[in-house]
């Protein structure tokens, strides 16, 4: 029996084996070390270029949308006694002149209640009326036309002429009162009926911001609430 230090067996595991010298793997590793950073930078540049292109397209689209929304900014031009002009931008335009409000309210009544045999004129009057009504008042006018179709009334021989009995007057800060007389005639001109009416209109003022609004409603006057009724005839 021999006593002594036992010799270690050689390690035949994979960890103890020397690395295999593979020329393909070595070539791939060298290629990645040389050109990998270039490829990574190229991908980054392509990403940022695409991002910049998207931002440019969005900016161009925004400019097109903004250009299509044409707005008109009101300015006030004053001229002194020496002929010098001063232009001032109106940031918060107030209510239009009183005379303009009275004239437009009179036109609202005329376009609303007149019945004519001229169908084209009747259509234009209805269109002009729509330029001055908004909110609840527009619903009131539409309901009135459904019950009193002006084209049907004209075909039935009921033509209505409207005459204001006075200038529209304010009854509060936002409301005005209008009185008028309606005369109904047939196609021969024979009077069939005559009746007095009154209406209370609540107004809202909004400065025009487009060319179309300037041409149709330059004062920015809108009837938002409308109540009307026939006046009782005084006993004779």
- Dump the DSSP string for 145-185: HHHS-HHHHHHTT-EEEEEESS--EESSSSEEEEEEEEEEE
Asked whether the CA dihedral 198, 204, 207, 210 is positive or negative, the reply is negative
* Strands of the chain, DSSP E: 75-79, 85-89, 159-164, 169-170, 175-185, 191-205, 221-230
Quote the radius of gyration of the chain (alpha carbons, Å).
42
Domain locations along the chain: 98-230
SS3 call for 187: coil
For residue 189, give the DSSP letter: -
130-171 per-position pLDDT tens digit:
999 999 999 999 999 999 999 999 999 999 999 999 999 999
Q: For the chain, what is the total number of helices (H) and then of strands (E)?
A: 6, 7
The CATH number, out of the four listed (3.40.720.10, 3.40.250.10, 3.40.50.10260, 3.10.450.230), of the domain defined by the range 98-230? 3.10.450.230
Name the more confident of 81 and 98. 98
For residue 81, give the DSSP letter: T
Count of residues for the chain? 236
Alpha-carbon dihedral of residues 130, 133, 138, 141, nearest 10 degrees?
Answer: -70
Q: Report the pLDDT averaged over residues 172-176.
A: 94
Per-residue pLDDT band at 13 (split at 50, 70, 90): very low
Q: Would you say 104 and 221 are in contact if contact means Cβ atoms under 8 Å apart?
A: yes
Q: Which two tokens stand for residue 74?
A: 């009101």
Q: Report the pLDDT averaged over residues 201-210.
A: 91
Long-range contact pairs involving 140-149 (C-beta distance under 8 Å, separation at least 24): 140/226, 140/227, 141/112, 141/226, 144/112
Mean pLDDT of the chain: 82
Q: Would you say 109 and 95 are in contact if contact means Cβ atoms under 8 Å apart?
A: no
pTM, entire model: 0.62
The winner for highest mean pLDDT among 31-35, 60-64, 111-115 is 111-115
Nearest to 201 by CA among 109, 84, 99: 109
SS3 call for 133: strand
């Amino acid at each position: 029996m021999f006593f002594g230090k036992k010799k270690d067996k050689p390690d035949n595991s994979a960890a103890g084996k020397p690395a295999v010298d593979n020329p393909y793997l070595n070539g791939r590793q060298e290629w990645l070390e040389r050109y990998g950073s270039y490829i990574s930078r190229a991908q980054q540049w392509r990403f940022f270029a695409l991002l910049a292109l998207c931002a440019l397209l969005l900016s161009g689209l925004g400019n097109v949308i903004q250009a299509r929304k044409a707005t008109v900014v009101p300015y006030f031009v004053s001229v002194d006694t020496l002929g010098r002009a001063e232009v001032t931008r109106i940031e918060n335009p107030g209510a239009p002149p009183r005379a303009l409000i009275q004239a437009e309210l009179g036109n609202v009544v005329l376009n609303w209640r007149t019945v004519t045999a001229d169908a084209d004129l009747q259509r234009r009057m209805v269109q002009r009326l729509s330029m001055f009504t908004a909110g609840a008042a527009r619903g009131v006018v539409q309901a009135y036309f459904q019950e009193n179709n002006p084209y049907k009334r004209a075909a039935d021989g009921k033509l209505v002429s409207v005459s204001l009995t006075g200038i529209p007057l304010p009854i509060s800060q936002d409301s005005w009162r209008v009185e008028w007389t309606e005369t109904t005639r047939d196609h021969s001109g024979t009077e069939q009926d005559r009746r007095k009416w009154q209406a209370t209109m609540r107004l809202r003022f909004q400065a025009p911001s487009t060319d179309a609004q300037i041409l149709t409603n330059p004062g920015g006057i809108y009837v938002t609430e409308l109540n009307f009724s026939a006046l009782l005839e005084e006993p004779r």
